[in-house]
Homo-oligomer: A and B are copies of this chain.
Amino acid sequence: MTVAGSPSSSATDLSRTETLSLVTLSGASLAILANTFHGDGEPLIASLALSLIAFSLCYAMIRWLGPTFIKAGFRGRDLSKVNGVEIPECMGAVCAAVYLITVIIFIPFPFYKDIVAATSGGGNRDVVVEIQYADEGRFLHRFPHNKLASYLGAIISLQTIALLGIGDDLFDIRWRHKWWIPGLASIPLLVVYFVDFDVTSIVIPVQLQPYLGELFDLGFLYYVYMACVAMFCPQSINMFAGINGIEVSQCIVVSLLIAFNDCLYLFTPYPHPATDSHLFSLYFLLPWIGVSCALLYHNWYPAKVFVGDTYCYFSGMVFAVVGILGHFSKTLGLLLVPQLFNFLYSCPQIFGLIPCPRHRLPKFNARTGLMEPSITPWSPDRQPHPLVAQALLFLHRVRLVKVTTDEKGLFVETSNLTLLNLWLVWRGPLKENRLALEVTMLQLGVGLFGLFVRHKLALLIFKEDNWGSTGQH
């Protein structure tokens, strides 16, 4: 059992170049970090520096912990390789741990007080302290105090999803129950939102305002909406998986797009009222981009580690957290269009209209070395329901699924309903890394278009935006 770990333990040490690069990077980042103490705190610079340190730490730890993970049973075989050796699984847990430490250590930077109430307390502070004096000294120069509660609530949600994700990887939770994991993890976020903010109104599109008013209070339903966002992001990312690197690369693309969107609000000619929300979002995204890059290096084709469900769940929760607390969950939706498509496209298999094999990842053809669409086989005595058959044939005509029929018109096989398989139906057999790259580029293209729509066309249905307003404010 432990012998399986030995072949990879030789690859555990960092090479001299790697060590040197990581140490240099960390050293430079520490210097930048130390420098932020001089001035105004500069939390954004600090966040960048901490993210670089997180990258280095995560990079080294993924390498070091490989054999430990294999020994503890977190290991798997790559189905899309000719000679599949066992490689460590669930490395997303390392990313999550490094990320959590980073965002916790970061807390004093945006929330640091200028004046420290040094003499206002004692062992039994509640007795001794003079309240007026203490409150006077409690001045936060960056974020107001209620942002701290949101920040901490977000961390709790992220930690919960990490705990549950690890539990999932350990206990092999059934699909039916898995669905609720992100829902459970969203509870801390929603509870803190309720206590701290509790704004449940939405802005009504201009066209509908004569009928519904300017704002519409969703009340309880707003919490259901937020829970759905928090459930959708992790699950849809977890579904859009199966080939080396795709989970991590899509998450990096989405993170970069959200970060780009945040920057649009930060570098406006006038200070934008939503600056805080978007700073908040950046503080959560930058370290995640850092640790994800470290993971991508090891998970890109040919993968030396697997990411595990933990990574997908956690990453989705990071997006949900910044989307919900930054109040741009609709924009987030635009960036996750490929995931949304993949989810809707998968529904017929999820809900049993079409049989769903255990693995739907693209099939590796060992002869050509290329990936091909994986298929669901049909036998003559087990054919789809006539309506389903009609729908499948229609989808085949519009090239949204590949159906093979025999001379009698009976279904022989249909391609599995995932975006990766569909891409292969369109583009023909591809090498694994080529497929991952193309789909990542698709994600980037769709996301950029989504942001364009968000910022150029949103003014048609909403009164205000970051680049201007229709003048009614």
Contacts and interface: CB of A to CB of B under 8 A. Distances in A.
Which of A112, A125, A145, A192 has most B Cβ within 10 Å?
A: A125
A127 B273 contact: yes
Task: Select the residue from A68, A107, A162 with max chain B CB neighbours within 10 A.
Answer: A107
Interface string A146-177: 10110011011001101100100011000000
B330 A152 contact: no
Nearest to A473: B127
Nearest to A69: B171
Contacts of A118: 200-201, 217
A277 interface: yes
Contacts of A117: 198-199
A395 to B, nearest CB: 35
Interface string A34-71: 00000000000000000000000000000000001001
Contact of A195 (B71, B112, B127, B171): B112
A400 to B, nearest CB: 33
B187 A125 contact: no
Contact of A156 (B104, B105, B125): B104
A108 interface: yes
A108 B191 contact: yes
Contact of A149 (B68, B145, B462): B145
Nearest to A219: B118
Contacts of A73: 73
Contact of A100 (B122, B160, B327): B160
A113 B198 contact: yes
- Copies of this protein in the assembly total 2
A51 to B, nearest CB: 17
A207 interface: no
A97 interface: yes
A-side interface size class: 35 or more
A129 B108 CA distance: 27
Q: Interface centre among A152, A276, A277, by most B CB within 10 Å?
A: A152
Interface in A173-195: 184, 187-188, 191-192, 194-195
A138 interface: yes
A203 interface: yes
A273 B119 CA distance: 18
Given A111-B195, A195-B148, A124 B274 contact: yes
A121 B195 contact: no
B127 A274 contact: yes
A120 interface: yes
Nearest to A137: B198
A64 to B, nearest CB: 12
Interface in A329-387: 330
Interface in A78-129: 97, 100-101, 104-105, 107-108, 111-113, 116-129
A301 interface: no
Interface in A422-473: 462, 464, 473
A212 interface: no
A72 interface: yes
A20 interface: no
A202 interface: yes
Contacts of A166: 163, 166
9 contacts: A107-B192, A108-B191, A118-B200, A121-B215, A123-B202, A124-B327, A126-B327, A127-B464, A152-B155
Interface of A: 68, 71-73, 97, 100-101, 104-105, 107-108, 111-113, 116-129, 134, 138, 140, 145-146, 148-149, 152-153, 155-156, 159-160, 162-163, 166, 170-171, 184, 187-188, 191-192, 194-203, 215, 217, 273-277, 327-328, 330, 462, 464, 473
Given A127-B274, A152-B155, 10 more contacts: A68-B171, A104-B188, A113-B198, A116-B198, A119-B215, A120-B201, A122-B199, A123-B330, A124-B203, A148-B195
